[in-house]
Amino acid sequence: MSVRTALAPKSPQKVQRELEDLQLVLKARNGSTVAMDQLMRRYTSFVRLKASSYFLAGGDSEDLIQEGLVGLYKAVRDFRPDKETSFRSFAELCVTRQIITAIKTATRFKHAPLNQYVSFSHTPAGQEGDDCTLGDALPGPAVNDPSVKVISTQELESLVGCLSTTLSPLEADALRLYLEGSSYEQMAEELACDTKTIDNALQRVKRKILTHQEGRQVLQ
């Protein structure tokens, strides 16, 4: 960027948009879900465009979009109006950083050994001794149905191997916290996103588990 461009006066439309962004950010920080929803809608197209420039091993475009939205949420949380930068510029930095971090994490996650994922086979926190499999722990009637077979050690290893290559970092973190007994609110706070994002991530995990089990004829 040239000095002339940096010093060029902002258009009235740009100034107005920055003021609107700032107002929405401040309201969202004060707990306004309406303001947060407005920011999400306003920047969703931007996040999608940014996500389309990257590839996530073991994931799809929707996974990267979700990661980008987490970055947007962090931008709302961390933006400092006293700094000489617009919210849009800060949001772009946070979204890009979150997507790149997710890609790097996914690469490490994909190549990590099986024993790093043994926690996936644990029962939810406080339920030691129960015959509660990973599938039983996830939300949804299809997984909680008694007809689901108890997963054998061989099947569990197969499932963990599948998840290690198909879960996005957000999905893996959400699943880990879920199995530790965290509430949706606690998970949202820990992962710096909203409960809807957590729910969407766990629903995708559930679908991936069911697809894997159906493929191996675990379900009757």
| Cα–Cα distance for residue pair 29/166, rounded to 1 Å | 34
* 35 CB-side CA count, 13 A: 15
Question: Between these two residues, 93 and 4, which has the higher pLDDT value?
Answer: 93
Contact 161, 33 (CB under 8 A): no
pLDDT (0 to 100) of residue 175: 84
pLDDT (0 to 100) of residue 183: 85
Residue 2 pLDDT > 70 = no
Domain carrying residue 40:
12-108
Please check whether residues 154 and 171 belong to one and the same domain: yes
Helical residues (DSSP H) of 79-194, grouped into ranges: 87-111, 134-137, 141-144, 153-166, 169-179, 184-191
pLDDT (0 to 100) of residue 58: 59
- pLDDT tens per residue across span 201-220: 888 888 887 777 676 554 44
Amino acid at 123: T
Which letter does DSSP use for residue 119 in this model? G
Amino acid at 118: V
Please check whether residues 85 and 54 belong to one and the same domain: yes
pLDDT (0 to 100) of residue 119: 38
For all residues of the chain together, what is the average pLDDT?
Answer: 73
Structural domain ending residue among the three candidates 65, 85, 108 = 108
- pLDDT tens per residue across span 91-110: 999 999 988 888 777 666 55
Rounded to two decimals, what is the model's pTM? Answer: 0.53
Q: What CATH number corresponds to the domain at position 45?
A: 1.10.1740.10
Domain count, the chain: 2
Closest CA to 44 of 86, 15, 72, 79: 72
Closest CA to 20 of 28, 192, 110: 28
- pLDDT tens per residue across span 140-162: 434 444 433 344 445 555 666 67
Residue 3, in any domain of the structure: no
What token pair was written down for 10?
């902002």
Residue 131 pLDDT > 60 = no
| Cα–Cα distance for residue pair 40/163, rounded to 1 Å | 29
Dihedral, 170, 174, 176, 180 alpha carbons, nearest 10: 160
Structural domain ending residue among the three candidates 65, 90, 108 = 108
